[in-house]
Amino acid sequence: MKRALVLVSVALIASGCGLFDDIATFSFDTDWQTVDLDTAKLGLSATDVALPDVPCASDPTICEQASSAGFSCGGGAFACAVQCGTAGSCEVVGDVDVPLPIDISQQVRNQTSANLLSNVTLDSMRFITDSNTLNYATPELSLYVGPQDATGVGESGVVLFGTMPPVAAGDTPEGVINATSAGQAALADFVRNYTVPFKFFIGATMAFGAGDTVPEGRLVMRVQARFQADLL
């Protein structure tokens, strides 16, 4: 009877001191990941300070010869294209698809030797803007999560995690990215098997129409995730 009381007392003392909680649950961050949205990656060239009005409603293929009107796309990392827009004039469209490789194995190994984690929860997904010289407002920026062998947001296994609001020209916002339920679940699965790297992707579609100032400048941001997890 005395032995049982001693065991119960030890368990209560350890629990009250938080010893078991400290051992079972821990927090860790990903490294800050830099997002570089450089307008030069559009590969857009233009002779004027604003994009000209090139009507295309009657013949959408005319946009393929938009270079004759003083602007063209070519060779940019953001998949720049000139196409007929909904307003009936040629517009410049660029698809942003920036991969951010994530390897959290070292951060976790510094705290545990367990091979798998359980009850992974996301504390926060933060972003900070380091600089912004853009002369235009960005569209909504989407954050995706996917396997390490994925090369773009349209591939199998890549899931929308959440979105950031548009960033106005020259603004340097910071804040948190709210997760979708599917995005949070997918991210938790990747983190649970932390020895295997995965990727974040930043995706957006930029569009510039007739009369818009020719886009210039660069936006540099960083994103970081913080997690809590239990040991298996």
Give 44: exposed, middle or buried? Use CB within 10 Å, 0-12, 13-18, 19+.
buried
Q: Is the pLDDT of residue 148 over 90?
A: yes
Does the structure show a pLDDT above 70 at 18? no
Check residue 115 and give its pLDDT.
65
DSSP lists the bridge partners of residue 159 as: 145
Percent pLDDT > 70 in the chain is: 86
- Among the residue ranges 89-93, 114-118, 139-143, 154-158, the one predicted with the least confidence is 114-118
Strand extents, DSSP E, the chain: 25-29, 33-38, 44-46, 71-73, 81-84, 90-102, 117-132, 141-147, 159-164, 174-176, 198-208, 218-231
What is the value of pTM for the model shown? 0.82
The overall average pLDDT reported for the chain is: 85
pLDDT tens, position by position, 46-103: 888 999 999 999 998 898 887 777 888 876 788 889 999 999 999 999 999 999 999 9
19 or 179, greater pLDDT = 179
**Confidence at residue 6, expressed as pLDDT on a 0 to 100 scale:** 36
CA distance 152 to 202: 9
- How far is Cα 102 from Cα 27, in angstroms, rounded to an integer? 17
- How are the residues of the chain apportioned to helix, strand and coil, as percentages rounded to the nearest 5? 25, 40, 35
**The pLDDT of residue 88:** 94
Pairing of strands 33-38, 218-231: antiparallel
Single out the residue of 174, 161, 177 nearest to residue 125, CA to CA.
Answer: 177
Token representation of residue 3: 């032995």
At position 41, the amino acid (one-letter code) is K
Q: How far apart are the first and last CA of the chain?
A: 33
Query: Do 17 and 207 meet the contact criterion of CB atoms below 8 Å apart?
Result: no
| Residue entry with tokens 């818009």 | 212
Predicted local distance difference test score (pLDDT) of residue 230: 78
pLDDT at 191: 87
For residues 151-170, give the mean pLDDT.
95
- Residue 170, by phi and psi: left (phi above 0), alpha (psi -120 to 50) or beta? left
Q: What are the φ/ψ torsions at residue 211 (nearest 5 degrees)?
A: 90, -15
Average pLDDT value for residue range 192-213:
92
Per-residue confidence (pLDDT) for residue 9, from 0 to 100 = 35
Q: Where are the domains of the chain?
A: 26-231
pLDDT at 27: 82
CB 159 within 8 A of CB 145: yes
Position 24 scores a pLDDT of: 66
